[in-house]
Amino acid sequence: MSLTIRLTGTGGAQLVPVFGCDCPACRRARVDEAHRRRPCSAVVKFNNAVTLLDAGLPDLMTQWPAGSFQQFLLTHYHMDHVQGLFPLRWGVGEPIAVY
């Protein structure tokens, strides 16, 4: 058995940098991408199954090609956890389970 978890977003709903904020953390995030906090999301690989845990990334389609995930697991239905799913509703191909 093989399990890997890769965090792809660890920010809250406001993200970092926060729009209009001039605190040290937000200033640093504006100049150094490594300090930016994206919407909540993680890729979980268990054996041959790949699950996206929360779909908060708005650029989900540009991050991974079609067929990358067998399922989505949503922790709750807040916009910063589901917004990446909206553009997929017009996709073609096999359905993807959402839990």
Q: What is the pTM of this model?
A: 0.82
Q: What is the predicted pLDDT for the residue at 71?
A: 94
Q: CB-side exposure of 31: number of CA atoms within 13 Å?
A: 6
Instruction: Give percent above pLDDT 90 in the chain.
Output: 57
* pLDDT tens-digit map of 30-74: 999 999 998 889 999 999 899 999 998 888 888 898 889 999 999
Q: Is the dihedral of CA 6, 99, 74, 64 positive or negative?
A: positive
Own/partner contacts of 82-86, CB < 8 Å, gap of 24 or more, are: 82/54, 82/55, 82/56, 83/39, 83/55, 83/56, 83/57, 83/58, 84/39, 84/41, 84/55, 84/56, 84/57, 84/58, 84/59, 84/60, 85/55, 85/60
Is the pLDDT higher at 25 or at 12? 25
List the chain domain ranges: 3-12+38-98
Q: What is the predicted pLDDT for the residue at 31?
A: 97
